[in-house]
Amino acid sequence: MNNKLLVLGTIAYDAIETPFGKTGKILGGCATYIGLAASHFTSQCGLISILGGDFEEKHLTLLKEKKLDLEGVEQLQEEKTFFWSGKYHNDLNTRTTLETQLNVLTKFEPKVPEKFRDARMVLLGNLDPNIQLKVLAQMKQQPDLIVMDTMNFWIESYRDKLDELIAKVDVISINDEEARQLTQKHSLVEAAKDLQAMGPKYVVIKKGEHGALLFHGSNIFCAPGLPLEEVFDPTGAGDSFIGGFTAYLVQRKKINFEEMKTAVIVGSAMASFTVQEFGTTALEKMTFLQLAQRIQAFKSLTEFDIELT
């Protein structure tokens, strides 16, 4: 058993507008959030991604300082980095995409470095299911755990490939509306059943400020959303969640429902930092001690005594 975690995802520039302000071009992309979250639990996290010539040296330095392995990150000097800009509505639960420049993504042929082809766990961040499948195909041995994320765009336009991928993974992480969209079931309990029937033994349904649900057979675990005074920017919350979730598991011996429950809390705690500042700022600064304290806050938040007389 090794502690290697292979992560597929975008490294991007984002421009974000929320009711609290707007940013210029800032570091973003699901592999960035996942990597920053994962770096707290493993020093053997390899990213698979693609960059343009405009990607700034300081951002490369940041990722390297967090001990993320960038051998699988290609840089095309003549192209530009993937760019996304979006605007969150007043409730912060919904957003409108203002602009998407795929740029380098149109030429993305993922190559898994030799040293990560035996990674214990693989985390397939939100991307074209064709690319997610190409990464899996390069593994030399079956990972202990394959985790995937996806979103509405792939559900609507790439359903066949998405189903092919879902059949191969152990954990699917998806938000509540997307779970309903994928299964055509309103009840999340029924949606999770249908998703398990498609392949994954574990289903994580993210509910934004309302927390997350973990389903495994007839077992259900509910992680609360930590009530925060201020949420500045939800971007990257789901990626931070799944990054913390998977990286927590990669350093644990067993993989079972009990471990997954704690992993969901770790992921929720990560996400709760991410949303408190724009972009990756809060996640970059967060210390392991702060994370541990926040996990304790999650515990206090839900503990109660029963004494029915």
Interacting residue ranges for its own copies, rule: CB under 8 A: 19, 90-92, 186-190, 207, 210-211, 213, 220-225, 227-231, 251, 258, 261-262, 264-265, 288, 291-292, 295-296, 299, 301-309
Lookup result for tokens 């109660």: 304
Lookup result for tokens 């602009």: 99
Lookup result for tokens 């071009």: 25
Token readout for 15 is: 């421009």
Phi-psi region of 18 (alpha: psi -120 to 50; beta: other; left: phi over 0): beta
What secondary structure letter does DSSP report for 184?
-
Nearer to its own copies, 162 or 264 (CB): 264
Nearer to its own copies, 159 or 210 (CB): 210
Q: How far is the CB of 116 from its own copies (least distance, A)?
A: 23
Q: How far is the CB of 303 from its own copies (least distance, A)?
A: 8
How many other C-beta atoms lie within 10 A of the C-beta of residue 96? 10
Q: How far is the CB of 225 from its own copies (least distance, A)?
A: 8
Which residues, listed in sequence order, are joined to residue 16 by a DSSP beta bridge?
86
Helix (H) / strand (E) element for 296: namely: helix 288-302
Nearer to its own copies, 29 or 211 (CB): 211
Nearer to its own copies, 49 or 235 (CB): 235
Nearer to its own copies, 56 or 258 (CB): 258
Q: What are phi and psi of 61, to 5 degrees?
A: -60, -45
Token readout for 277 is: 């500042």
Q: How far is the CB of 117 from its own copies (least distance, A)?
A: 27
Nearer to its own copies, 76 or 92 (CB): 92
- The torsion defined by the Cα of 44, 49, 50 and 51, in degrees rounded to 10, comes to -60
Q: How far is the CB of 216 from its own copies (least distance, A)?
A: 13
Report the distance separating Cα 110 and Cα 113, nearest Å. Answer: 10
Q: How far is the CB of 189 from its own copies (least distance, A)?
A: 5
Q: CA dist 126 to 67, 119, 154, 224, Å?
A: 22, 19, 9, 23
Nearer to its own copies, 167 or 292 (CB): 292
Helix (H) / strand (E) element for 57: namely: helix 57-65
Q: How far is the CB of 214 from its own copies (least distance, A)?
A: 10
